[in-house]
Structure 1
Amino acid sequence: MQAIAGPFLLYLGDKTNPLDIKTSRGLALFRPGECVGELSLGGGLSLGLPQMDPTQAVAAGARTLVLGIATSGGRLEETMIAPILAALDAGLDVASGLHQHLADDPRIRERAAATGGRLIDIRIAAKGLAVGNGTPRAGNRLLTVGTDCAVGKMFTSLHLTQALNAKGMSARFRATGQTGVMIAGEGVVIDSVIADFISGAAEALSPAREDEVWDVIEGQGSLFNPSFAGVSLGLLHGAQPRALVLCHDPSRPHMRGLPHFPVPDLKACLEENLRCARLTSPDVAAVGVSINGSQMAPDDVANLCARIEDELGLPCVDPVITGMEPIVERIAQLP
């Protein structure tokens, strides 16, 4: 992957679903000093950054327009073309996490060639990957898993990495999604990897190490989501985790985009993730549950966490409301 030059102008388009702008939101939260403004088309969400066009963003120091949104099928939308061309004309590079590559559109490709602007696609399959082999390897690895997709696995992984480092337990975030890769500046976008190589990609992302550093690996999908269970299983086998954290959005009435599939029971979900992980990591342990309580009142979050702790015998946190300390303490107690 080419390096993405900051500062950034974050493209929000006209999106109204918060999950559709999670890449832009992730950059604004975890790399705030490099986000100079946002570009929206009106009528959509805002991150509270100054609204700028590409020329204004360049004057403010921006170097890259980041297309930080999700679209149907991961494709470029027609409404995106004019802002992208304007960004290239203003002297910005353009970075995208969409499945469709920027240069697939001839208008973008030709304008980039004329202006010298770089087109940076995050979803590029890593080269030289091997299939996973499950050979036991040394090291401390933690994988976040979920009851569904988009429930906070990246968010939890980043906050947990920060909390471990603050506690003096060295940790590094290992990104597996386009947003995580943009935040970290490195990683492997797992959904761009051929299925046979997913576990091998996870092995390459978190190789054996003899020190005490924790590799906190960002999970993807869910074993209980029929659309994305394959990538979840590949990560479980390849990560060879010593510990798992289960992530959950309690406000979700059903699996995202699948109203005919209910959200799984937390205990059943955790037990299935542990069972699958034991293929390559027989001693794997669950160390906590992380919920996304953004749609709940703080008192309701506290009550839910208490109920989950009673049911599962594990610490339950909301990274924003309670912090990650109880899970860090459980990790420190691992044999």
Structure 2
Amino acid sequence: MQLQHPYLLFLGDAADDLAAKTAAGVAQWRPEWCVGQLRLPGCNTSLDLPDMTLEEAREAGARTLVVGVANRGGVISEAWQQTFLDAIALGYDVAAGLHQRLVDIPALRAAADREGRLLADVRHPRDRFGVGTGEPRTGRRLLAVGTDCSVGKMYTTLALEAEMKRRGLKADFRATGQTGIFIAGSGISVDAVIADFISGAVETLCPANDDDHWDIIEGQGSLFHPSFAGVSLGLLHGAQAESLVLCHEPERLHMRGLPNQALPGLQECMDLNLACARLTVPQPRFVGIALNTKRLSPEQAERVLKETEDRFGLPTVDPVRTGVAPIVDRLA
């Protein structure tokens, strides 16, 4: 799925900052693609972008209205639909990553068909994928894996891509979730792929490439999360990544959404990921650890980063506080 940019970010009637985290991520990582934001009455959040009407943003070059807000259940609110219809009439594509699909709303589908516009439901892949083969392919690949969900895998891989490009290396971020797809402009939301085809979809996402080209692949879930381990395993096998980065939040006490499920130890997590990765990669290795230390003071974060690096002998960073340069140094 390929999205056209620039974007106008739709914040709708978001109740708070968290409800608009998708839009915030796009604005942070692809500011050059974002001409403005569109807010409806009752919106309680804002980005560092100008408020624009559909007409103003279209005049400024916007090509896709990106639904950067989520509500409970991931449904498309009736209060949003007139804005989407008006956008289609003005020549916009509309893109969303919600559980409910844009194309399942008859009025939107009819308007898009009439105007020849794209309704991009990025959480729901349109393509058909084959099963994975595990056959060796050229190019270099790095995958972020985690002790749990939502520990910084997307942020880490985006930071690695940015640092590598700053150094003139050939690198592309490969998105595997809806927010990442908005940021990259393309990708496959692997959690919506039929289980038998997850590894094949990832092989399609990062196919054979030049020997000096890096695909930096966004991770999903954790091999230790009872709810999502299947997605993580299919992604690991399809990525065939020679290099892995472990992502972890030190202060987290249990698996997200599962208060009775403890997080694995870092060594335990690395050992299982390496053992599983060897099915499709002869000699995978960890090249770094990325810690999300947002809950720690600067002094605590510095101590935890150093202790972890000393313990494992791997570059250990917080992509927000310290950047990821030490990990890229190891890749060179």
SS in 2 for 1:259: strand
1: CA distance between counterparts of 2:125 and 2:117? 22
2:189 paired with 1:201: no
SS in 1 for 2:9: strand
The change in CA–CA distance for 1:162 and 1:209 in structure 2 (over 3 A counts) is same
Asked whether the equivalents of residues 177 and 191 of structure 1 are also in contact (C-alpha less than 8 Å), the reply is yes
2:121 paired with 1:156: no
Asked whether the equivalents of residues 11 and 43 of structure 2 are also in contact (C-alpha less than 8 Å), the reply is no
1:80-131 per-residue CA deviation (whole Å, 9 max, x = no partner) reads 3243234335543311122322121123234445665432222342534221
135-144 or 257-266: bigger deviation: 257-266
State the partner residue of 2:27. Answer: 28
Task: List gaps (5 residues or longer) in structure 2.
Answer: none
Asked whether the equivalents of residues 54 and 92 of structure 1 are also in contact (C-alpha less than 8 Å), the reply is no
State the partner residue of 2:275. Answer: 275
1: CA distance between counterparts of 2:217 and 2:258? 26
Task: Read off the aligned partner of 1:315 and give its amino acid letter.
Answer: P
SS in 2 for 1:260: strand
Task: List gaps (5 residues or longer) in structure 1.
Answer: none
2:42 paired with 1:37: no
Alignment length, in residue pairs? 331
Match runs of 1:232-251 below 5 Å: 232-251=232-251
2:6 paired with 1:7: yes
What is the RMSD computed on CA atoms of the aligned residues?
2.5
Task: Read off the aligned partner of 1:30 and give its amino acid letter.
Answer: W
Task: Read off the aligned partner of 2:287 and give its amino acid letter.
Answer: V
Per the TM alignment, residue 196 of structure 1 is displaced from its structure 2 partner at its CA by 0.3
The change in CA–CA distance for 1:297 and 1:59 in structure 2 (over 3 A counts) is farther
State the partner residue of 1:97. Answer: 97
Task: Read off the aligned partner of 1:193 and give its amino acid letter.
Answer: V
Per the TM alignment, residue 72 of structure 1 is displaced from its structure 2 partner at its CA by 3.7
Asked whether the equivalents of residues 75 and 99 of structure 1 are also in contact (C-alpha less than 8 Å), the reply is yes
SS in 1 for 2:281: coil
State the partner residue of 1:284. Answer: 284
The change in CA–CA distance for 1:58 and 1:204 in structure 2 (over 3 A counts) is closer
2: CA distance between counterparts of 1:39 and 1:31? 17
2: CA distance between counterparts of 1:54 and 1:210? 41
Match runs of 1:106-185 below 5 Å: 106-113=106-113, 117-185=117-185
Asked whether the equivalents of residues 126 and 193 of structure 1 are also in contact (C-alpha less than 8 Å), the reply is no
The change in CA–CA distance for 1:125 and 1:112 in structure 2 (over 3 A counts) is closer
Per the TM alignment, residue 164 of structure 1 is displaced from its structure 2 partner at its CA by 2.0
1:14-45 per-residue CA deviation (whole Å, 9 max, x = no partner) reads 44565543331222122212212223343533
State the partner residue of 1:310. Answer: 310
The change in CA–CA distance for 1:204 and 1:114 in structure 2 (over 3 A counts) is closer
Asked whether the equivalents of residues 248 and 290 of structure 2 are also in contact (C-alpha less than 8 Å), the reply is yes
1: CA distance between counterparts of 2:318 and 2:15? 24
Asked whether the equivalents of residues 122 and 188 of structure 2 are also in contact (C-alpha less than 8 Å), the reply is no
What is the TM-score when the length of structure 1 is the normalising length?
Answer: 0.88
Asked whether the equivalents of residues 190 and 231 of structure 1 are also in contact (C-alpha less than 8 Å), the reply is yes
